[in-house]
Amino acid sequence: MSIDNLRLIVWDGIIPVRIILDPEESRVYDQANAYYLAVPRVSYLSLYNKSIINFFWEYLLEPEAATDINLWFEFENAPLKWHWPIGLLYDLHSGFNPERPGSEPKIPFTLILHFKDYPTAHLPLRHTSFAIYDAFMNLVKEADFMRNGNAKGVLSLSKEMSNQLWEGLSKPMTDEYDQYYSVASRIFTYDAETRVLPVRIYLPSGAPVVQKIINSGKEETIGTMLHVTLPALFPSRKSLFFAKPMIHGIILDLDMPLLEVGSQLAYPDGWMHIVILMKEKNKG
């Protein structure tokens, strides 16, 4: 399979989502209909705020509170980061492990919608309805800076090309793939000249995100990167003892070349967002 074909498969990945209004904010308590949607893995829930608000408007006790700035979601009591891709949120919170016997995907991904009591201790504030665009572009700039020591690749884009980059992502269906990558390929390259890759690693139980610049030489693998970055969880470069790395719902082999993983599985913001799953202890 070619790299472009695998990128397209990732681009077309979907998370089925079911949204339930918090009964305490509903004038019909728990009788409000649920809202269903299919969100591309690489996209953001924030892009659907308008349609979500419109759907639940008739059920709201305080419709005047239903704004982009106040809206937030939770999954099993955990507030969800509105500026993280939904594929990352699902991998991090759902508990699904594709290699664990009996583990079933939590589909649809059922979320509780809130407009009150915004959890400022857990989520950044949104001051405008354009906050998700700003958050995405900031990560793109940061990824560009970490790769090259500057963000000239992003800053040199024309306004038209910047808009093309975002519009391709904000409507991530197959026919927008070329629109996005025609711009992204100018910023994020994966070839023999690529020296470093930006990586973010997400640990269980709400631990701080580990952010690293990783050398991407041809000898560098997922195993060597994790062994150096998280030696307590990955004491070996070759074998999994305590934890497993996952991206886009795929458990990564430790011997996979880092550059190859980045070229095929990096998110549209230019980062490799890797979720760490803890291995279950053997019984008996």
Q: Where are the domains of the chain?
A: 14-114, 131-187, 196-278
Q: From first to last of its 284 residues, what are the pLDDT tens digits of the chain?
A: 555 678 888 999 999 999 999 999 999 999 999 999 999 999 999 999 999 999 999 999 999 999 999 999 999 999 999 999 999 999 999 999 888 887 788 899 999 999 999 999 999 999 887 899 999 999 999 999 998 889 999 999 999 999 889 988 887 555 678 889 899 998 988 877 788 899 999 999 889 999 999 887 767 999 999 999 999 999 999 999 999 999 999 999 999 999 999 999 999 999 999 999 998 775 43
How far from each other are the two terminal CA atoms of the chain, in whole angstroms? 41
pTM for this entry: 0.93
Q: What are phi and psi of 20, to 5 degrees?
A: -115, 135
At residue 23, the pLDDT reads 97
The two domains 14-114 and 196-278 share their CATH topology (first three levels equal): yes
The architecture in CATH of the region 196-278 reads: Roll (3.10)
* Whether 271 contacts 200, CB under 8 Å: yes
Question: How far apart, in whole angstroms, are the C-alpha atoms of residue 179 and residue 199?
Answer: 25
How many Cα atoms are found within 13 Å in the side-chain-facing hemisphere of 141? 11
* Residue 154: Cβ-neighbour burial (10 angstroms; 0-12, 13-18, 19+): buried
* Whether 258 contacts 266, CB under 8 Å: no
Query: 131-148 and 159-170 are packed helices; what angle lies between their axes, rounded to 10 degrees?
Result: 110
**And the tokens for 22?**
């918090």
* Residue 86: Cβ-neighbour burial (10 angstroms; 0-12, 13-18, 19+): buried
Domain 131-187: which topology? Serum Albumin; Chain A, Domain 1 (1.10.246)
Match domain 14-114 to its CATH number in 3.10.180.10, 3.40.50.1370, 3.10.20.620, 3.40.50.2300: 3.10.20.620
Q: What are phi and psi of 178, to 5 degrees?
A: -65, -35
